[in-house]
């Protein structure tokens, strides 16, 4: 929601202990989101068939239909009998200040999901979710020998050091942005070298400066972004990057090529409004990949891009 005024003009410092305000907003936009769903949607755009795992409410029916139309398998979704699907409600004022609330709702039931019951999987991505669910799913992956990605991102602020160490140790991939990367080291007490001893690959995104791929005993690889023609909405850009990255790895491409596909998808997301409102034009995508990374990169990625 957008408030045309300024929150600061409506708040009385000497009355904050009795705060009760209402803002008349100009518009309301309802958009689909959620980290797991955003990543799964992006993989569907690239022709994949990812399995979404999480807990939702009975109000999920329309969202389920949308995701399934875009290539997402939803058999791993648990439907709560008591709570609504998690949602984020935000009001932004003229100065881009925000007042927001996050309702976890059915997300708290994700800890009841057992991965073994979902059948064989290639890779489990443990993204921001109910903290107890994140820990359970990570420990189950280790116990069952299932490859997993540690993607704690927004939940890092609510996790303690021991939980963060549990989520990372033994991961095939740790992916964070630069701030989250520093927070991981702060909360775990591990240095960057310590982290690399516990994960196979570490990828850190740096916004417009691209991404850095780090692997034990190897020189870092830097992957620049695909320049955006315009930025309509930054929401979901990181999730789109993960979708492209993981899709390309499933195609058997190198980490560098995979990060390039991730950068492409992130840019497509940035150029649209909302985290699930972009599509892929194959010819345009290959042109942008060639311009950004060279003809060899475009030629190597081309056989895997869908024609739609």
| Residues with a known catalytic role | 239
Q: What is the DSSP letter of 156?
A: G
In order, the DSSP letters of 160-212 are -HHHHHHHHTT-SEEEEEHHHHHHHHHHH---HHHHHTT-S-EEEE-GGG-EE
d(C-alpha 5, C-alpha 94), whole Å? 6
Q: Counting beta carbons within 10 angstroms of the beta carbon of residue 59, is it exposed (0 to 12), middle (13 to 18) or buried (19 or more)?
A: middle
The structure tokens listed for 62 are 């329309």
Distance CA 1, CA 26 (A): 7
The two structure tokens encoding residue 132: 């107890």
Which residues are within 8 A (CB) of 241 and not within 5 positions of it... i.e. 6 or more apart? 205, 211, 262, 263, 265, 266
Residue with tokens 């875009």: 70
User: Minimal CA–CA distance to 195: which of 171, 224, 220, 231?
Assistant: 171
User: Is residue 253 a contact partner of residue 304, using CB atoms and an 8 Å limit?
Assistant: yes
DSSP state of 235: T
User: How far from each other are the two terminal CA atoms of the chain, in whole angstroms?
Assistant: 33
Neighbours of 4 (CB within 10 A): 11
Q: CA nearest 227: which of 280, 300, 293, 283?
A: 293
């Amino acid at each position: 929601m957008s408030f045309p005024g300024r929150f600061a003009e409506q708040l009385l410092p000497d009355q904050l202990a009795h705060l009760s305000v209402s803002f008349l907003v100009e518009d309301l936009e309802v958009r689909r989101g959620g980290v797991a769903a955003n990543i799964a949607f992006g993989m569907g755009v690239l022709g994949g068939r990812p399995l979404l795992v999480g807990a939702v409410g009975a109000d999920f029916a329309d969202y389920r239909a949308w995701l399934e139309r875009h290539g997402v398998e939803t058999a791993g979704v648990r439907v709560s009998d008591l709570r609504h699907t998690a949602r984020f409600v935000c009001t932004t004022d003229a100065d881009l200040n925000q007042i927001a609330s996050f309702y976890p709702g059915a997300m708290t039931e994700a800890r009841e999901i057992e991965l073994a019951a979902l059948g064989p999987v290639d890779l489990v991505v443990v993204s921001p979710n109910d903290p107890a669910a994140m820990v359970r799913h990570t420990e189950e992956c280790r116990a069952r020998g299932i490859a997993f990605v540690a993607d704690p991102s927004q939940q890092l602020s609510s996790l303690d050091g021991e939980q963060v160490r549990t989520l990372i140790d033994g991961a095939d991939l740790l992916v964070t942005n630069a701030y989250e990367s520093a927070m991981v080291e702060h909360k775990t007490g591990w240095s960057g070298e310590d982290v690399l001893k516990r994960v196979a690959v570490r990828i850190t995104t740096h916004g417009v400066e691209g991404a850095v791929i780090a692997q034990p005993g190897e020189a870092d690889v830097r992957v620049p972004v695909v320049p955006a023609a315009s930025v309509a909405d930054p929401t979901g850009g990181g999730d789109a990057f993960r979708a492209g990255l993981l899709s390309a790895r499933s195609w058997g491409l190198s980490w560098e090529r995979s990060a390039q596909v991730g950068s492409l998808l992130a840019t497509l997301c940035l150029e649209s409004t909302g985290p699930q409102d972009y599509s892929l034009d194959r010819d345009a995508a290959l042109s942008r990949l060639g311009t950004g990374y060279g003809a060899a990169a475009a030629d190597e990625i081309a056989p895997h891009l869908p024609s739609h």
